[in-house]
Chains A and B, each alone.
Chain A
Amino acid sequence: MPYLEFEGQQYETDEDGYLVDWQSWKEGMAEVMAKEDGLTLTSEHWEIIRFLREYFMKFQIAPMIKILVKEIGKAMGPEKGNTKYLYELFPAGPAKQACRYAGLPKPTGCV
């Protein structure tokens, strides 16, 4: 099984690098994952990551994009409340990439 190496410990992941146990997540892991993708996390990224985890705790699933967009609009101003801005932050897709950084499972297909 693939794993993530973090602070001398191994954490199990799936084939796409999502943590198997979302509760074993540590903040620093997001930095490690982002670094591998060549990204530096800013406070905007963190806003999203934290929101994802909060939402997940309440609903056991990551929010749909509409809700994410609305949230970011609330936190960072309406001019940033759009999908385009989210993609600027997470070029590989806000749902997929941000969920991975947040230690959440890979989103299932929308069917």
Chain B
Amino acid sequence: MAVQKPEELSKVVYTFPSTPWMDTPVEIKKGIFCWGNKEKSLKAVGFPNPRQWSVTDEDWKLPDNWKEIFIEGLRERVDKYRSFRLFLDICVRCGACADKCHFYIGGGDPKNMPVLRAELLRSIYRKYCTTSGKIMGKVAGARELTTSVIKELWYYAYQCTECRRCSLFCPYGIDTAEITILIRELVNLLGLNIEWIAGPVANCWKTGNHMGLLPHTIIDIVSEFKEAIYQVTGLKVDLSYNRKGAEILFVHPSGEYFDPNGNVTFMGYMMLFHEIGLDVTLSTYSSEGGNFGFFTSNEMAKRLHSKIYAEAKRLKVKWILGGECGHMWRVWHQYHNTWFGPVDYLEEPVSPITGTKFENAKSNKIVHITEFTADLIRHGKLNLDPKRNDKYVVTFHDSCNTSRAMGLFEEPRYIIKNVCNNFYEMPPQTIRENTFCCGSGSGLNASENMELRLRGALPRGNAVRHVRDKFGVNTLANICQIDRATLQTLVDYWAKGVAVRGVHELVGNALVMKGEKERTTDLRGDPLPGKEGE
């Protein structure tokens, strides 16, 4: 699809329509929405109302009692989640969140202001769940639920990346991401999802990973990585799968088996594990760190998540190490214990190399790879040559889920500063807990919604362009597979000349391994600085 040039797209119009929002019907635009879910993807996981439908059709083929289903679903969730009811009740419409959303900043659609996004559902809540709304209707901010409202809810729930930036600025701490999460859950009851999420969910349920990789495919791909590492280092690096009794189970986003940026990040893990002789195994059954179920419903998220622990139990490992993934981390640390309670069949994670006890991972027994690697570096366990990354002038993109949701600010930066000589921060209001979303998170990284993605990436792109022009930054490091797979397209558009890299790719480059040959190239096969002629 042809998209406007950056100069055009960045002229965002912030005017409001002449009619009040409730009287402004939803207009579903190409380039903004993702294709609807396929019948077979819902069938695969037993989701309601599997059928052939198309977003562009007038009739979305809802079940006959759609209204009842939706309202019942809403009431049930309002009773079940106190936070949800609170968020629906206490907004004073102060507007502090309004201009904090990247989709509003880059797109100008008023219904992408977090306050209004939530109001789309709040108005229904008032009508069907509060007395004032029932009696006073519109005056009390309530409105009737119609099929057009359902379409509006669907359309805007899939224009929110659940990044939570808005919540940071709300004086009441209202988390619009949580409202989006529940809107998605509710429209799912009617069989309304997007294929870009429903497909990977179905894959993950069937094969253990979003990509749909079968065990022999994974092994075949890893043999390619082994070969590539051998070319660079002269070392034969191995990796075990489904090995019972290993100390650690490593779980990472399956996109790393496929995406060229992810490939090299994965090679970085392999080299690190080999170098420190880690007793680690991977699984072909639990081969997904991410969880697109989380972008669908709590129930689906739980179903997918439970596979990881079932596998950890089966393989009798002591604890779990997680790769460079964003939302995996949020699911793991913010939902896991609520869903399943603390894990009692694994051990509290201790690094076998440094003896460090990961106190923060006491209850759910999962350590993030950047915590693990930062700890190795801090104890002087890695021989690193940052000069090998000298052609990179690096900045770090905080992924919403690892930073704002989890506070994993220092570890990736500490690693980067130890493996690279040139590091510059983007402006403070765009990093750490203030970070701007990539614009493609929460399952919105499709291609048919490219205009939405580019618009959503405008604030992030601006900050990258700023450090590119000021410091000559040419590398955007990150610790999330969605970022690695999507940000390249987005920075090519907003900040040309910047390459997206996983942190463990940079580690793999800098890691001086025992017995390696003199390296002449980096992990991508490009010449190392000073070795260009060889």
Q: In the bound complex, how far is the Cα of B486 from the Cα of A4, in angstroms?
A: 30
* Residues from 250 to 274 in B contacting A, C-beta threshold 8 Å: 253-255, 257-260, 262-263
> A45 in the interface, Cβ–Cβ < 8 Å?
no
Interchain CB contact (< 8 A) of A66 among B196, B199, B224, B482? B224
* Residues from 73 to 111 in A contacting B, C-beta threshold 8 Å: 83, 96, 108-111
> A41 in the interface, Cβ–Cβ < 8 Å?
no
> B412 in the interface, Cβ–Cβ < 8 Å?
no
Q: A14-B35, A67-B224 are in contact. Are A109 and B263 (CB under 8 A)?
A: no
Q: Assess the B258–A64 pair: CB atoms within 8 A.
A: yes
> A15 in the interface, Cβ–Cβ < 8 Å?
yes
Q: In the bound complex, how far is the Cα of B413 from the Cα of A90, in angstroms?
A: 38
Q: Assess the B210–A108 pair: CB atoms within 8 A.
A: yes
The residues of B that contact A96 with a CB separation of less than 8 Å are 447
Interchain CB contact (< 8 A) of B263 among A64, A70, A83? A64
A108–chain B nearest beta-carbon distance, Å: 6
Interchain CB contact (< 8 A) of A64 among B196, B257, B448? B257
Q: Assess the B200–A108 pair: CB atoms within 8 A.
A: yes
> B278 in the interface, Cβ–Cβ < 8 Å?
no
Q: Assess the A61–B211 pair: CB atoms within 8 A.
A: yes
* Residues from 429 to 466 in B contacting A, C-beta threshold 8 Å: 445-448
Q: Assess the B35–A108 pair: CB atoms within 8 A.
A: no
Q: In the bound complex, how far is the Cα of B214 from the Cα of A108, in angstroms?
A: 15
Q: Assess the A109–B260 pair: CB atoms within 8 A.
A: no
The residues of B that contact A59 with a CB separation of less than 8 Å are 213-214, 216-217, 220
* CB-based nearest B residue for A1: B52
* CB-based nearest B residue for A82: B525
Interchain CB contact (< 8 A) of B217 among A61, A65, A109? A61
The residues of B that contact A109 with a CB separation of less than 8 Å are 196, 200, 210, 255, 445-446, 485-486
Q: A16-B448, A59-B220, A61-B217 are in contact. Are A66 and B35 (CB under 8 A)?
A: no
> A60 in the interface, Cβ–Cβ < 8 Å?
yes
Range class of the B interface residue count:
35 or more
Q: In the bound complex, how far is the Cα of B448 from the Cα of A61, in angstroms?
A: 21
Q: Assess the A110–B485 pair: CB atoms within 8 A.
A: yes
Q: Assess the A108–B203 pair: CB atoms within 8 A.
A: yes
B347–chain A nearest beta-carbon distance, Å: 30
Fill in one digit per residue for B45-63: 1 if any A CB lies within 8 Å of its CB, else 0. 0000000101000000000
Q: A110-B481, A111-B481 are in contact. Are A66 and B260 (CB under 8 A)?
A: yes
Q: A15-B35, A65-B260 are in contact. Are A110 and B213 (CB under 8 A)?
A: no
Q: In the bound complex, how far is the Cα of B207 from the Cα of A59, in angstroms?
A: 12
A11–chain B nearest beta-carbon distance, Å: 15
Q: In the bound complex, how far is the Cα of B55 from the Cα of A1, in angstroms?
A: 11
A91–chain B nearest beta-carbon distance, Å: 14
Q: Assess the A108–B216 pair: CB atoms within 8 A.
A: no
The residues of A that contact B221 with a CB separation of less than 8 Å are 64, 67
The residues of A that contact B217 with a CB separation of less than 8 Å are 59-61
Known: A108-B210, A109-B196. 18 other contacts (CB 8 A): A16-B448, A60-B214, A61-B213, A64-B257, A64-B259, A64-B260, A64-B263, A66-B224, A70-B224, A83-B260, A108-B196, A108-B200, A109-B445, A109-B485, A110-B481, A111-B210, A111-B255, A111-B292
Q: List 13 A-B contacts (CB under 8 A).
A: A59-B220, A60-B217, A61-B212, A64-B259, A64-B263, A66-B228, A66-B263, A83-B260, A109-B200, A109-B210, A109-B446, A110-B211, A111-B200
Chain B positions near chain A (C-beta within 8 angstroms)? 35, 38, 52, 54, 196, 199-200, 203, 210-214, 216-217, 220-221, 224, 228, 253-255, 257-260, 262-263, 290, 292, 445-448, 481-482, 484-486
